[in-house]
A and B are shown apart, each in its own frame.
Chain A
């Protein structure tokens, strides 16, 4: 029996995207689209606390609240005294997961618990962003967080006033508003997201070098140290005296492609980091490796987020672009896409180095049905044949200072149907994958669904038997940690 497509993430009104009313058709409404469940492909499915199964009879967000309260029971909050100021440091990422409701509920609960247990009412939210400087403002409004935090919920951006942080690798710069409190609480999630950047090295620490950091620090990460070494930037900031004197504890949504596994909280961030990395290597790696098994496909981008950050099956499109290379293998220096790689293409389009891997050659055509601007994406339209649906979306990119050249390398189709008609005939494949934010599964064509079901068992074998031992050894991790996140 053919499975019905899964519901995609809904279009969202945002200054970084087109009006949702202009999204006339979703990829999953195309003929011949079905779905595959993550648990169907990888049956080791661990229990999840969110989303709840139908008929469970409980509000899913209540489970997040319960889990947050329970996780905090073992965390020392004794350093926070009545009258102290506490900044909950958050990132836009969390709000893009499963509609953002779980992350918002974790933040609300955290505020309540801190007030109840410490007596201080000065708990403020500081939500960082990527390259869209008001993005978290939109989420704060969407989830009513400003009211909940009594007017103390603030979007912070990398061009805001900075604060110098002296580290073991010299002076770096954080955002003044992130650190203007007696205590900071680091709130994040284990979604694997940008493996091409973090390489599953200190994943849990990364926001100290990004979401809470100034442009100087972020640029140092992306241009000064190299594709793997750059991950030390966040650690250097986190380990600095300046941050350690303020750091109280961390709270994470432990994500997986199956849903949310748990809420994790500790005073020791590196203990959480080990579990985050274990989740990445144990669960997300199989999905990413499965992407690497796809021999040819058409990708439909169809999610309210910037191009590399549109989701399928709980992981992002950037991981599809890089799927021809094992990003978890630290012996691999350069992914097919990362800022370091992008910088090493000459004017004539040649590579500066002979061993730079190409963009995943399985990507035969990209149909950009719905995605946001606000991230430099020229590399993508330059390196993969791209059709953008609708003049309005093309205009959006032509107004975006990060993407003034994007449309020079892309075509425009009036509708998704005409785009797909062209894609099928030109790419000569009927394998289609849709990055539309459907959760716990993926919307794909019937041919790709059958292909993925056949490929999944050999991916499981390869990851478990060959790759995991190597990845763990490269990171000095014991296999025992995998059991802790099962």
Chain B
């Protein structure tokens, strides 16, 4: 669950229209529109207050302003549990596992967002708040979940670089690499990850 208590505001008179803010917005809430010149327009209903745009604006012309707090997130309990578990199994993530350390979002909530219709990481961010905290650590589980659902999420719109692609997982490490570098404990870590997949939702 993500609490939103700030949103981004652009000081348009200082903006050069470089579009970096639009390229780094995880919820795709910023679009560049032609006014007297090219300027960013922020869709406040989807701004999660993540600070990405503020942090990367070269002109420092974005402010984070307070709003009445509200939350982003889905109740995974309202979705078909069998479908959620099947999706998580294909993504090789325990449904109960935390995937976002900033929002505490668990894999079953990500799966619920996919069932809700999320097509790409931007949709997942809008629905669950993932990738709107540190903006870094949860991106692979998000893309793994989308892949598991057969979503070909492609590239972000325009020239954005909110995401590129999912990367290798423990299950796909080439045998030659495992054999050549035993000190990295590939086999043992794979066994550990498999153990977490089999673990009960109730925990121990």
Contact = CB atoms under 8 A, between A and B. Distances in A.
Residue among B136, B143, B162 with most chain A CB within 10 A? B136
Interface in A329-347: 330, 333-334, 339, 342-347
Nearest to A348: B203
Contacts, number: 206
A401 B49 CA distance: 7
Contact of A352 (B103, B163, B185, B196): B196
B104 A378 contact: yes
A344 B196 contact: yes
Nearest to B49: A401
A161 B162 CA distance: 9
Q: What does DSSP make chain A's interface, helix, strand, loop or mixed?
A: loop
A401 B132 contact: yes
The size class of the interface chain A forms with chain B is 35 or more
Contact of A220 (B23, B168, B193, B203): B168
Given A157-B55, A224-B140, A216 B101 contact: no
B198 to A, nearest CB: 10
B164 A344 contact: no
Nearest to B178: A229
Interface string B76-103: 0000000000000000001011110111
A82 interface: no
Contact of B174 (A168, A171, A216, A405): A168
Nearest to A230: B189
Tell me the interface secondary structure of chain B in the complex: loop
A351 B101 contact: no
Contacts of B195: 353
Contacts of A376: 101-102, 133-134, 137
B33 interface: no
A399 B6 contact: yes
A238 interface: no
B104 A405 contact: yes
Given A376-B101, A402-B102, A226 B185 contact: yes
B45 interface: no
A404 to B, nearest CB: 5
Interface string B182-197: 0111101110110110
B174 to A, nearest CB: 7
Nearest to A350: B203
B52 to A, nearest CB: 6
Interface in B99-142: 99, 101-104, 106, 132-141
A369 B94 CA distance: 37
A172 B189 CA distance: 20
A225 interface: yes
B167 A352 contact: no
A403 interface: yes
A148 interface: no
Interface in B146-169: 161-169
B189 A227 contact: yes
B3 interface: yes
Nearest to A382: B104
Contacts of A168: 174, 177
Contacts of A342: 98, 101
A333 B189 contact: yes
Contact of B163 (A134, A170, A216, A333): A216
Nearest to A172: B167
A231 interface: yes
Contacts of B202: 346, 348, 350
Contacts of B101: 339, 342-343, 376, 378-379, 402
B199 A353 contact: yes
Given A159-B52, A219-B137, A227-B189, 18 more contacts: A159-B56, A169-B173, A219-B138, A220-B167, A220-B168, A223-B138, A224-B169, A226-B185, A226-B188, A226-B190, A228-B184, A339-B101, A352-B94, A352-B204, A354-B204, A376-B102, A379-B101, A401-B102
Interface of B: 2-3, 5-6, 23-24, 48-52, 55-56, 64, 94, 96-99, 101-104, 106, 132-141, 143-144, 161-170, 172-174, 177, 181, 183-186, 188-190, 192-193, 195-196, 199-204
13 contacts: A133-B51, A159-B161, A169-B174, A216-B167, A223-B99, A229-B186, A232-B177, A232-B184, A346-B203, A351-B204, A352-B96, A353-B204, A401-B51
